[in-house]
Amino acid sequence: MNRSSLMPSVTTEIPGPNSRRWIDYHMMFAAQATYEDSFVWDRSKPAIGPWAYDPDGNLWLDFASHIAVNAVGYNHSRLVEVGKKLGGIDPDRYAGTDFIGAYGPHPGWRSELPTPSDLHNELMKITPAHLNKAFLSNSGAEAVENAIKIAYRYKKNYGYGICFNGAFHGRTLGALSLNRSKHVQRRWYPEIPNIISFDYNDPDWIDKIRVNVEEVAYVIVEPIQGEGGYVVPTPEWMQNIRTFTALNDIPLIMDEIQAGVGRTGRWWCYEHYRIWPDILTSAKALRVGATIANEKYFSEESGRISSTWGEGNALSSAMGALTIQIIRDENYLDLAHMLGVYFKGCLIELGFENVRGKGLMLAFDLENHESRNVFTTEAAKKGLLLMGCGTKSIRLLPPLNVTKREIDICLNIFEDIKKD
């Protein structure tokens, strides 16, 4: 596939007949979740960058990137090469917090084939020196679960947790207790106690705390809210949170699961605000979950945190380590920043409301929920895959190696939809 000449091409209804067969086959026994039925990715067909085919032969421009998971696009050559080599070794998952998985006689023997140990080392290269330990898990929700666990262990107090309205931190019960995005995510599920929330970006939130700060175990915040609507905080508000938590020795958990690993033009979104976290959570682009913190937050007691498959996902850990290397080697941080500025400016020129974001984590608003859904449907008919967020927003998450030409194709589709 030659990216310099590809154009979206949809010649069937959406979804097409073959896609519909796959949807019906899948949903015969799959529980309902959050499935999007416009795009079915056909893994048997070629794909590159933001380009992928569905089973009907329609060629899509994917500006959702599997919700920020596909950070360097489809089939990056370095990832594919390593995937072929490691894919032939079974099991690709093993008891990684019970047994360390090596590759060869010593670390670095085949540096192009990273292990979970290498992922640990790559993470330390892109985080501040005080974040010197990490625990790997299977997902972002697990990363959050372990973040709050080590915060509770560190504080040993009454265990109040502070989160913010609009937040999304995952779907396991502990992480779910922190969600304030959509009511459907939490309704009738039991929750961990003592979670209090305040409005995101409210400069007076500290004055509204009605518990003794000595009883607070952690504050958890997204540096840009994701599922909640791509809400971008003011630098002053983020700095206010950091000052409050630092003065009161309250662990600040920064949830970078969607915004981290280069998405905003820096390794971590919190860097835009000139602050630092005590505990950092990552996943999505990393392919595994990661809870990163100073060693003082992690217990030295064996078994305090563990997981059969934690740290034992050999293939995904290799992809995560390589993704960090690719972003660094191919200068994708600068590219995300420069193309993000360009993309954002063009969206403003097109007259979209409330254009916001950093790097290649952008969003804009439409009039209401219904008009947002109509817009994404019209885009799908033209071969552009988009995802919504919040109540009326569209989020834009092209891969970090997107080209200006591909952004212009997206913008031309937007212009056509607005004309129609």
For residue range 318-335, list pLDDT tens digits in order: 999 999 999 999 999 999
Q: Stretch 34-63: mean pLDDT, rounded?
A: 96
> What is the layout of strands, in order, in the sheet containing 47-48?
47-48, 51-53, 59-62, 384-385
Task: In whole angstroms, give the CA distance from residue 243 to residue 390.
Answer: 28
| Among the ranges given (78-82, 95-99, 409-413), the one the predictor scored with the smallest mean pLDDT | 95-99
Q: Is 109 exposed, middle or buried (0-12, 13-18, 19+ CB in 10 A)?
A: exposed
Distance in angstroms (rounded) separating the CA atoms of residues 199 and 180: 10
366-401 pLDDT, tens per residue?
999 999 999 999 999 999 999 999 999 999 999 999
Asked if 163 and 31 sit in the same domain, the reply is no
Tell me how far apart the alpha carbons of residues 255 and 370 are, in angstroms, rounded to a whole number: 30
Q: Are 353 and 314 within one domain?
A: no
In which band, very low, low, confident or very high, does the pLDDT at 188 lie, cut at 50, 70 and 90? Answer: very high
Out of 271, 297, 329, pick the residue that ends a domain: 329
Instruction: Please give the pLDDT value at position 368.
Output: 97
Q: What is the pLDDT of residues 206-242, one digit of tens each?
A: 999 999 999 999 999 999 999 999 999 999 999 999 9
pLDDT recorded at residue 37: 87
Give the domain CATH number at 240.
3.40.640.10
pLDDT of residue 49: 98
The per-residue pLDDT for 174 is: 94
- Predicted confidence (pLDDT) per residue in 243-259, tens digit: 999 999 999 999 999 99
- Amino acid 255: pLDDT: 98
* Ramachandran angles phi, psi of 389, nearest 5°: -160, 165
Give the confidence band of 160 by pLDDT, cuts at 50, 70, 90: very high
- What is the C-alpha to C-alpha distance for residues 417 and 392, in angstroms, rounded to an integer? 17
Reading the block at residue 408, the tokens are 């212009």
- In the block, residue with structure tokens 């979950």: 289
Q: Is residue 46 part of a domain?
A: yes
Residue 69 has pLDDT above 90, yes or no: yes
Packing angle, helices 314-329 and 332-349, rounded to 10: 80
Q: How confident is the model at residue 418 (pLDDT cuts 50, 70, 90)?
A: very high
Q: How many domains does the chain have?
A: 2
> pLDDT tens digits, residue range 274-304?
999 999 999 999 999 999 999 999 999 998 9
- 56 and 100 fall within a common domain: no
Domain boundary, last residue among 329, 357, 391:
329
Both 191 and 231 in a single domain? yes
Q: Which of 286, 308, 329 is the last residue of a domain?
A: 329
Task: For residue 307, name the pLDDT band (cuts at 50, 70, 90).
Answer: confident
Count Cα atoms within 13 angstroms, Cβ side, for 56.
Answer: 21
